[in-house]
Amino acid sequence: MTKQERVNFVINTLYKLYPEIPIPLDHKDPYTLLIAVLMSAQSTDVRVNKITPLLFEKADNPYDMIKLSVEEIRNIIKPVGLSPMKSKGIHGLSEILIKKHNGKVPQNFEALEALPAVGHKTASVVMSQAFGIPAFPVDTHIHRLMYRWNLSNGKNVVQTEKDAKRLFPKELWNDLHLQIIWYGRQYSPARGWDLDKDIITKTIGRQSVINDYNKLKKS
């Protein structure tokens, strides 16, 4: 297959598997999504979705959030990990949203990435999922699969994002980044990977990846 044929195969397969695409993190508006994505760093969506209701019951907007102390926030979100950094970020960004953005989450990358504890990936998720603005947030699943599918060299997530944006039509970015995440979790995980169930990698995958898989399976 040519690279374009591989890209088309990925798009068609993912749309057949995921015609409707659930959002992994529970939220009700851009602010609660921003907080949930920030909390998800080095944690799981399942764990975050268990903790965010406890936090949002006390504060689901920046005005209520700054009424809590950093320590109070930390005690609530401790199960998701990295709570010292995340609690400071949540309190700090809430203050900035009130002071600089009238309590609203800004709809541009520069302003989002200027917020405490908000990096490019978090900003991309918010732009995509909260505002519908084309973005391609790259998580570990997307980084792994773009390499397995021989669509990126796997050097770093910055290059993977550039390759994804170059190869996939812009109007599909918001759907595709979620579809690839769900596919990675269900069919092509890092651990417990079964190539026979991973139809995309089995069909278009990088040969060295397939060879390594077969060697491990035999050993």
| Confidence (pLDDT) at 136 | 98
For tokens 């809430």, the residue is 94
Q: What pLDDT, on the 0 to 100 scale, is given for residue 154?
A: 85
The pLDDT tens digits for 135-145 are 999 999 999 99
Closest Cα partner for 173 from 115, 131, 112?
131
The CATH classification of domain 3-20+137-218, taken from the options 1.20.1250.20, 1.10.1670.10, 3.40.605.10, 3.40.50.1370: 1.10.1670.10
| pTM recorded for the entire structure | 0.92
Domain with CATH 1.10.340.30 in the chain: 30-130
Residues in the chain predicted with pLDDT less than 70, given as ranges, are none
Q: Structure tokens of 197?
A: 């169930």
- In the set 139, 162, 165, 175, the catalytic residue is 139
Q: Which of 86, 121, 163, 198 is catalytic?
A: 121
Q: Quick check: is 121 catalytic?
A: yes
CATH class of 30-130: mainly alpha
Buried b (16+ CB within 10 A) or exposed e, 137-164: bbbebbbbbbbbbbbbebeebeebbebb
**Structure confidence by residue, pLDDT tens digits, 83-109:** 999 999 999 999 999 999 999 999 999
163 among known catalytic residues: no
CATH code 1.10.1670.10 region(s) in the chain: 3-20+137-218
